[in-house]
Structure 1
Amino acid sequence: MSRIGKQPVALPDGVTASVSGQTIEVKGPKATKSFTATDDVTLEVQDGVVVVTPRGKSKRARQQWGMTRTIVANLVHGAKDVFKKELEIRGVGYRAQMQGNTLKLNLGYSHDVDFDVPEGVTVTAPKPTELVVEGTDKQLVGQVAANIRDWRRPEPYKGKGIRYKGEYIFQKEGKKK
């Protein structure tokens, strides 16, 4: 039994969901999103909640059960609010700024890094050493934040690089004489 899959997804005020076949469409004040589930699960909307149930007892059906419920919950949350990832930049001379739809990063390379922000995501730089990635699609927000972080991952000796806010980097001891 899936502990996650058993829980119904509550629809908050202002959010509606409709199911047609294996596709669920969630409408809210921030966005309208849809998702097509596999044939291993059944989607139903009952009394203001979305219920996901597996078809059969196969391993794949049980795997899809919890995953589908989580994706539906993310759709509902994204229709009501936005997802947010905060990044911080550490290092001498490392900074970021937005220019239109392009994020300019100075990360110690011989050139500036230009990162084009995809549709559906907004990136802001409240300070030169802070970045905020926001959007209604949880997967896209996380992927954009990870792509930005990949340009200069935090290194373990001085801790320089781009890290998630609150992320702990284990510091290693340097060479000894």
Structure 2
Amino acid sequence: MRLVDQRFAGIARGVGTAKILGRVHSAQLKLADLHLPCAITVMEGRDVDLLLGLDMLKAHQACIDLSKNVLRIQGREVEFLSEHELPEKARHEVDEEAPSESASNPGLPLSSTSGPTTSFPEGGNTLSAAPLGRLVGTPSAVPQPPQSGHSEEHIRILMDLGATRAVAIRSLDAAGGNIDVAASLLF
């Protein structure tokens, strides 16, 4: 922990929340034969070993090529792992989560396109998980907050991204009604 600058400690908020322990200002990340300088934010309690942020990918002009299943960076291509190549703990999580979701909600249709879900602390889900209230399709008994001056279509788009109505309205307020900026504020 001596490399971690604890002045950067805090809470990361997005789809879920996590405690930030601090920041390593300079480290080398080895991809293929490249050694890339990067800064690393150290978070507590994550099952994920490493997340590559869009800021880091952009800084090194990386390209995610899903048609070839590779990360292209500075002319090198690094293949993504296939299911059977995942570490044991990652495979185990995927196997456990799919049956538990269908067992707890037998009436829910399972989509073949939906990926595995990962729960964050305090009940949040990753983007691959649709909110349960949206899947059931029954109207909510919770009264809706008062109407805002924003387009109902913009509010619905943000709600489809996983935000509650109140969060969608607050995001639109903060973004001055710009739907693109409001959507980026959610993540």
Does the pair score TM above 0.5?
no
State the TM-score, normalized to the length of structure 2. 0.26
State the TM-score, normalized to the length of structure 1. 0.27
- Normalized per residue, the structure richer in helix is 2
